[in-house]
Amino acid sequence: MSRSRRVAGCVMSGLVIAFMLLDAGMKLVPLDVVIKATAELGFPASPDLARALGAVALVCTALYAFPRTAVLGAILLTAYMGGTVAVHLRVGNPLFSHMLFGVYLAVLAWGGLYLRDPRVAALLPLRSPSAEV
């Protein structure tokens, strides 16, 4: 595995981890803006609910951050992001900025893992069209 590929994967994964830590931290506190946004999405305006979501996000992110559990973390983050897509779909938020944001983050997470972990790359061998015979 080339060094540049591994660095690119770590940068992509680092962006996901940084975003998720920010998101989890805001929910764990919980900030008023989080409780208001939760209510606008149709959930109870509850600090306990925000903290629970923050704890789930933090656990998923921690699992993703450590190489030994990164695949499990990526699976759990993808599930978490799937929930965000469903919630934004249900309330009718805009497609590209809100609904698909979870998809963007999940793709970034898996792309980073693909580039930094040769085991994941071996599971999904992408080939260029010129490599096919």
pLDDT digits (tens, 9 = 90+) for 60-76: 999 999 999 999 999 99
**What's residue 21's pLDDT?**
98
pLDDT of residue 128: 65
Q: How buried is residue 45: exposed, middle or buried, by Cβ count under 10 Å (0-12/13-18/19+)? A: middle
Please report which confidence band the pLDDT of residue 59 belongs to, taking 50, 70 and 90 as the band edges: very high
- Residue 62 falls inside a structural domain: yes
- Domain of residue 67: give its range: 3-117
Question: What is the mean predicted confidence (pLDDT) over 29-42?
Answer: 93
pLDDT score, position 114: 95
Residue 23 resides in a domain: yes
In a domain, 53, yes or no: yes
Helix (H) or strand (E) holding 13: helix 3-28
Work out the pLDDT band at 29, boundaries 50, 70, 90: very high
Residue 128 maps to a domain: no
Mean pLDDT (the chain) is: 92
Its pTM surpasses 0.85: yes
Q: How far is CA 32 from the centre of its chain?
A: 23
User: pLDDT for 81-129, tens place per residue?
Assistant: 999 999 999 999 888 888 899 999 999 999 999 999 999 988 888 776 6
Terminal Cα distance for the chain, rounded: 24
Pairwise CA distance, residues 93 & 63, whole Å: 30
Cβ-contact 117, 67 below 8 angstroms:
yes
> How many structural domains compose the chain?
1
